[in-house]
């Protein structure tokens, strides 16, 4: 009793004063002792420690800081060191879980699952979604199937995020399971703009125009309007087939085309050799003040090179180099233009510059 009195009346930090227990005025019973005063793994009063909300918040801040610094192993060490204390809660495990998913560490992810189970806790849909997202990145369909089975066992309902994480992987690997999951999502009323975008992307890559039209009708029935991503995928489907008229009909429906959409149209006009429409599209691109990428410049350079327009070819190549873009096929197209024009001297000078640019690009990558 004296030993217990010493522990409980030892001068506490200022933030614990209000929680000091005085043996002279209080009879200690199991009903009076807050659950975090006696951790279950401690059998002796000598180990007595009063856990507070401050301890929990401090651990949370520590874990968040470690996650920001990318110290994932230290995060697990913190979880392990506090696993038997009274302060570890689901929020701490969630922070650690997100960090491990970001790292791509499947062993740590599974360890945190087991830590939850050992404390009588169950993962919620957020944690399952993060784990599924990790295994989608790793293309591990078997592990995803195991997680879905575990969710069914624990009666955790899939949400639209769960479906939308898995659908792109199934679109690439298993068309039958894709349709099964799509129908399940549809019957659950969880279809959204993201899931429609995934489906149209898959169908457009296959050139399945009938499937694309059916999907667009389903969207219209649900009053969901196609966004730039969906329309660009349809645009790409027609561009691959060099169907300019149909591509332009889709293009007119895109209210805010992005760089990728412009690149599709520029490449289409370059492929069919319509320089006039290509230049009109390029002017529209500049008018919208978008930033050209390597694909944009490559398309313009090769289009002018095919037409043996030396001035515009060299002008676009210089702009491309100013942005420090290097693409071997672009230089091949320019060299071929000099050959067709019979400019052997210019070709020789260009070849030297080509070699310098190649070396500079290698050094930049290193």
Residue 250 belongs to domain spanning? 192-273
- Counting the structural domains of the chain, the total is 3
Same domain, 297 and 256: no
Q: What is the 3-state secondary structure (H, E, C) of the chain?
A: CHHHHHHHHCCCCHHHHHHCCCCCCCCCCCCCCCCCCCCCCCCCHHHCCCCCHHHHHHHHHHHHHHHHHCCHHHHHHHHHHCCCCCCCCHHHHHHHHHHHHHHCCHHHHHHHHHHHHHCCCCCCHHHHHHHHHHHHHCCCHHHHHHHHHHHHHCCCCCCHHHHHHHHHHHHHHCHHHHHHHHHHHHHCCCCCHHHHHHHHHHHHHHCCHHHHHHHHHHHHHCCCCCCHHHHHHHHHHHHHCCCHHHHHHHHHHCCCCCHHHHHHHHHHHHHHCCHHHHHHHHHHHHHCCCCCCHHHHHHHHHHHHHCCCHHHHHHHHHHHHHCCCCCHHHHHHHHHHHHHCCCHHHHHHHHHHHHHHHHHHHHHHC
Last residue of a domain, one of 9, 32, 50: 50
Residue at 94 is within a domain? no
- Asked if residue 36 belongs to a domain, the reply is yes
What per-residue confidence (pLDDT) applies to 366?
56
Based on the fold, state whether residues 212 and 266 are members of the same structural domain.
yes
Q: Is residue 203 part of a domain?
A: yes
Last residue of one domain, picked from the residues 208, 243, 273: 273
Say how far apart CA 41 and CA 56 lie, in whole Å. Answer: 18
Comparing CA positions, the residue from 166, 94, 152 lying closest to residue 123 is 94
Asked if the structure places residue 83 within a domain, the reply is no
The maximal CA–CA distance of the chain, rounded, in angstroms, is 106
In a domain, 117, yes or no: no
Taking phi over 0 as left and psi of -120 to 50 as alpha, with beta for the rest, 70 belongs to left
Q: Is residue 147 part of a domain?
A: no
Query: Tell me, what's the pLDDT at 53?
Result: 53
Claim to verify: residue 302 and residue 251 sit in the same structural domain:
no
pLDDT of res. 95: 83
Residue after which a domain boundary falls, among 12, 34, 50: 50
Task: Tell me the CA end-to-end span of the chain in Å, nearest whole number.
Answer: 69
Mean pLDDT by 10 residues, the chain (366 residues): 41 39 34 33 34 69 83 82 74 82 84 83 88 93 94 93 96 94 95 97 95 96 95 97 96 96 97 96 96 97 96 96 94 95 93 91 76
pLDDT score, position 348? 92
Do 200 and 262 share a domain, yes or no? yes
Query: Is 152 part of a structural domain of the chain?
Result: no
Whether 201 is covered by a domain: the verdict is yes
pLDDT of 80 reads 80
Phi, psi of 36 (to 5 degrees): -90, 0
**147, 164 contact by CB (below 8 A):** no
CA atoms within 13 A on the CB side of 112: 32
Same domain as 257, residue 217: yes
Same domain (yes/no): 227, 200: yes
pTM above 0.85, yes or no: no
């Amino acid at each position: 009793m004296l030993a217990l009195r010493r522990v409980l009346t030892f001068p506490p930090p200022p933030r614990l004063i209000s929680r000091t227990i005085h043996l002279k005025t209080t009879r200690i019973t199991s009903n009076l002792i807050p659950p975090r005063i006696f951790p279950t793994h401690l059998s002796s009063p000598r180990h007595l420690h009063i856990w507070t909300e401050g301890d929990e918040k401090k651990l949370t801040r520590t874990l968040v800081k470690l996650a920001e610094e990318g110290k994932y192993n230290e995060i697990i060490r913190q979880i392990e060191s506090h696993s038997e204390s009274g302060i570890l809660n689901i929020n701490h495990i969630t922070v650690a879980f997100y960090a491990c998913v970001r790292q791509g560490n499947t062993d740590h992810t599974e360890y945190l699952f087991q830590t939850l189970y050992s404390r009588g806790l169950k993962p919620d849909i957020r944690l399952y979604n993060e784990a599924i997202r990790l295994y989608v990145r790793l293309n591990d369909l078997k592990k995803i199937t195991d997680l879905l089975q575990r969710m069914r066992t624990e009666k955790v309902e899939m949400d639209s995020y769960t479906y939308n994480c898995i659908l792109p992987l199934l679109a690439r690997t298993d068309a039958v399971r894709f349709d099964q999951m799509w129908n399940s999502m549809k019957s659950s009323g969880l279809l959204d703009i993201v899931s429609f975008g995934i489906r149209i992307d898959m169908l457009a890559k296959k050139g399945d125009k009938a499937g694309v039209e059916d999907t667009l009708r389903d969207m219209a029935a649900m009053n969901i309007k196609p966004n730039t991503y969906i329309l660009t995928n349809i645009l790409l489907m027609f561009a691959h087939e060099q169907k300019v008229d149909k591509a332009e009909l889709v293009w007119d429906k895109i209210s805010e085309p992005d760089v990728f959409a412009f690149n599709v149209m520029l490449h289409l006009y370059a492929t069919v050799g319509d320089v006039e429409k290509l230049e009109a599209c390029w002017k529209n691109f500049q008018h919208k003040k978008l930033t050209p990428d390597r694909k944009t410049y490559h398309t313009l350079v090769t289009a002018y090179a095919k037409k043996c327009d030396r001035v515009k070819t060299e002008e676009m190549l210089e702009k491309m180099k100013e942005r420090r873009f290097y693409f071997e096929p672009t230089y091949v197209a320019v060299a071929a233009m000099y050959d067709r024009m019979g400019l052997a001297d210019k070709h020789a000078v260009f070849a030297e510059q080509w070699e310098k640019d190649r070396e500079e690009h290698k050094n930049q990558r290193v």
